[in-house]
Structure 1
Amino acid sequence: MLAWLRRPENRFGALMVALGFSYCISGLIVTTESWPFIAGLHLIALPYAILFHILLAFPSGRLATRANRALAAAAYLTATVGWWACMLVQDTTRLGLPANPLLVADEPDLFSTLAKVRLGIVAALIVLLGLVLARRWHRSTRSRRRALTPVYLTGGLVLALYGAWAVLGVAGVSADAQETLERARVIALATVPFAFLAGLLRSRVAGAAALTELVARLGDGRRRGALRDALADALGDPALELAYWLPERERWIDAAGAPFALPGPGSGRTCTPVEREGRPVAMLVHDPSPAADGELVGAVGAAAGLALENERLDAELRANLTELRASRARIVESADAARRGIERDLHDGAQQQLVALALALRTARSRVEQDPTAAAELLDAAEADLEAALRELRELARGIHPAVLSDRGLASALEALARRTPVPVEIAAAPAERLPEPIEAAAYFVVAEAITNVVRYAQATSARVEVARDGEHLVVRVADDGIGGADPGNGSGLRGLADRVAALDGRLDLQSAPGRGTTVRALIPCPARGVHPAPPAETGTGVARPEVEPSSRAPGSRAG
């Protein structure tokens, strides 16, 4: 009862109360009245079914697997329905007992057969229980075994005595032998609560000692893994794992800074969070047994909270260094790809036109004296080719860095981008003042890449762009009403933008729930110094239906 009141969420206390109550009710068997007698006789096996359930569920009070639930259900059915079936065909008055009000027909042979079948089922269930408990004990940690050993020994002894008592009763051995087993069974059953108490006390004392040792070891050296080892010893779980929370990236990492996936339901592991001042710091991934007594895990987490916070910072630093190396590699690859693209565009476009122009000029020079009219025509054609090459070079340069962005600033460049986009784009907000060139370029390419993805993948009917200052930061937000479900890791476009923004100490986030559109948000540091008014913007609306896709994007990037 005390365990139930102390922790009502744990079913163990309720099961212990049910065990004691059912055993008291089965005492009605000593009465001389028919109905109370048959009720006590009918419930005589129920306490052992409940004990069967308790042993399977200890220490959490819950049956964790389908096999355990099936075993418990079989035990309850055998103790109730099986005994009830036997009572339908036995006349208890022949044994000098009160009358059986449930008697349908007195069939001694059928009763013997049913009793033997029921006894066989009981014996099989006890054997299966022993195998389950032995396997569980063998796989348990040291701390878990401290709690399991006295409980399993006492509970197993009670069930074994019950099985022997039932066998002797069916075999018809002497009443003295049955009475001796009956007394031993009752005495053993009375010790069950003390066995549970001993198991819990052993676990609690060992936990206190482990906590004391943990506090002493927290001052040890900074060897990587020392904290994990100390916590593993304190909880008695050699397989303990630690994960650390990165609030900016909203993900878990390990001590080396690599991403960490928390185990899901059915994995056989329990996750216990550690917080400091209401903030998540770390996650202890451990064996489920210490979680049955949350005080130990909570005390361990509180004692190691500061050390976990320090190690979290170290892990965050390692994660940032790893990301920085990867970002540098991607920037180099992007720059190389951009150069190769420019070389290919120059070779296939302007270079061929210039080579043809050189040939045309050479031909015109050779004919200028002999055929001035033909030479003049060749010069006209060369002039047209030269103008076409210049246009192509301007288009190529505009793809690298839009001229309107350099000349008129971010607001005008976004208006021009919106007019070229085949999906209606609303420029809801844009800074009127000029910003530092790297910040303007980063903001522009974020919008350009996001709009390109809207056109290519989002199946959207409209998009909305907001660029505004928020204190010392520039917030860039592009939202669409498309199908959502974008994957930031699938494609180099968004990764390239994330690298560009990260180079300015900013952050790029993506929200793209399926069916709810996509929102790209960049937060770029933008101090007030260096800001000055922009030239007058071009006239026109920010919502348009142009006929070509946006061609301005980050060098070397493609839609993510």
Structure 2
Amino acid sequence: MTQVSTAAVLRALLVAVGVAAVLLVVVHAGSAVITPRQLRVMLPFLAVALATIALFLVWSSLGRVVTRVAGLGVVSPYSALAEAARRIQAGSLEQVLPGLAQVLAVGTGADRAVIWLAVGDRLVDAAHHPPDAGSLAGPPRDVQRLADLLVEPDTDYVVPVLDGGALRAALVITKPTAITAADRRLLNDVANGAALLLRVVALNAELSERVRQAADLAEELRASRLRLDSAREAERRRLVGELTHVMGDRLVLLRADLEQARAGLTGAPADGSSVRVALARSRVRLDDLLDRFRTVARGVYPTVLRDQGPAAALQEVAADLPRPVRLLADPAPRLAWELESGLYYLAASVLRALAGRPAGPELSLRLEPAPGRVCVVIEDPVPPVGAARLEALLADDADRLVALGGALLITETNGDGGVPSTVTGNGNPPVVVRAWVPDRVEPAVGSVEAGTAVR
């Protein structure tokens, strides 16, 4: 308050000296130039008019001079609010909060004044006076609730800034002496006058955070599309490989049997027995080829998955494997087709990699819902391949799972879920495969993070 009083006295002195100087100059100079007595009477009135015009022209410059001489950033809390409003209209929001913090510190004689801005569901240290030398080195402080400010060691008095019932900010001062009634009035006046300003600042900070979140989601969408393209290309290569395997040797043998039957029919005399044998072999080979095509088609578009869900589709896959599989499925709601297919393809690839050989005990596969996700857990006590090799075999399926928002984890255990301590007859320790997908396709957009503040 001493600086404010000094500024007021200095301003009054400058105005008085300026008016006296104008009066002296106009009256003295006019008396020397104007001879009629009647006109000399008008000189004081002319001097007052000129002094008024001069004060109007130099008032803003006078305020800056007084501020600089008195060492005061702002003359009063109310002029500071007016200056903050002017800065908001000019678009310099970063200067609003430090100015208000300075008003609180100077006006109350506090050692420190802090403006905590409501950003999302937290309060963030948005500005304080005096500024810290290392304030830009780390993230700003934040608290969860307004009540948490009361237990802060540097908090002596707190005034919430409300706007229509919504908490916009909190004004906090640290003062070595007692909080006076004048201090409380000043804080309440600043809080009432700054409510609208702080609403603009808070909404601006929240908008900036929403824009950042939108940019992050756009980047995640771009990365997901790239992963889906990679998974799609890998699936295309796998399908081409399976079709090549199906049509390779089997088609060559089928064509050879048909050529033998045609040669027997066109020969003279016709060899009926060789023709019948060749056609019989052709029929067997054709039935095997059709069965293989049906297997490939089930892997590409499993109708059971569409109709009955992943548990029934995986049961169908397990039935065609030479190694026994025990499937346990907890009741769970149906998911979107993309999520169910991603989990199904991953689990089917694991089963084919682990149970594709007849040797070995029973595998365990569990489908179980969890909060916000659906999980599949596959345990193999004697895996034919190690965890590293299995992870390489499942790379494409893992990419598809990650693109859908899920994850894959492969661990080697000792049978009790601990660190591997034993190995099986083929040299591989027991392995556990855990995979999950979210229970919805839409990404979850979080609330505004607490680390955002206007500086």
Structure 2 length as normaliser, TM-score?
0.42
Task: Judging by fraction of residues, say which structure has more strand.
Answer: 2
Larger Rg over CA atoms: 2
Q: How does the TM-score come out when normalised to structure 1?
A: 0.35
